[in-house]
Structure 1
Amino acid sequence: MFSLHVLSAIASAIAIALVASTALAGLKLPANCAPNRGNLSNCVPILACLGDSGIFFTGRAIGWGKGTHAGQTSANFGCHGQWRAQGSFGFGEATLECDNGLTGKAFFTYQHPETGTASGIGRLSTGEIFHVWSGNNVDQFLINKYGEVDAGALCQNFTAPGT
């Protein structure tokens, strides 16, 4: 079981971005998605575990300081939304809207602002908690913290903080 002690201090919600072409064994950016620090065309991958269902989404976030996100879930429905970083403390918030009617709101914090690597926690419209990680170094961040980036395995075994 995985536990996120770092996220337990973060308020309830985040969604950033998604990529339908991401493989289960690791996060891979599509050819037209590239990090571009400080630029509105900045593009980074995202991974989120949706509740305790084992369903996850992958995608991409576009922008710097604020922007949009979109992607696909392992249950074959799409999600999108907007995100915004707030202030100099590395906090932000994001919205999530999915094709199946699922919505959510999340808060996130940057683990490494220079690369855009962020992690967060949110609440879905079902009342379930979801966890999100994003940034151009998100795969290495997940390997360092959990020992893997296989989204299916991570989200199947993930538990919310305090459980």
Structure 2
Amino acid sequence: MSWTCPRCQQPVYFAEKVSSVGKNWHRFCLKCEHCHSILSPGGHAEHNGRPYCHKPCYGALFGPRGVNIGGVGCYPYNPPAPSPASSVSLSPGNFSPPRPRAGLPQAKKSLSYTKTFTGETSLCPGCGDPVYFAEKVMSLGRNWHRPCLRCQRCRKTLTAGSHAEV
């Protein structure tokens, strides 16, 4: 007994059959409709009877829109409009030295690594505390504590690799 492959319309024999989305496919014909990568049976999403990769393709094409969801629909960044030249000159004498603000965490060290008895560990760019192996999240080339990896604009916790540095 043979079936017809939905992609190539050729017969599919039992030895080469892969069943998914309620149809029988050739193994190499079960591909994402968007990026054409080969999919494993059951390890993908389906839309209108067509297979798609779960995260990158299906999420971006048919998933919900919003910040950090589906890879699209983030808030646009509009830089502040330059104000007309004012009469105040921007010389160093017009500025007071920076003062530490109460209630906000201050960076503890200027180094990005610290030496401990268990070896060298990196410091979190968000809070300045050491980030140990079991709690680290790697993003933007640095090690972070998971709760410290937040959007600078809306303070939403981010997942590693799903954001951009501006």
TM-score under structure 2 normalisation?
0.18
Q: Which has the higher strand share?
A: 1
TM-score under structure 1 normalisation?
0.19
Which gives a bigger RCO, structure 1 or 2 (Cα 8 Å, sep 6+)? 1
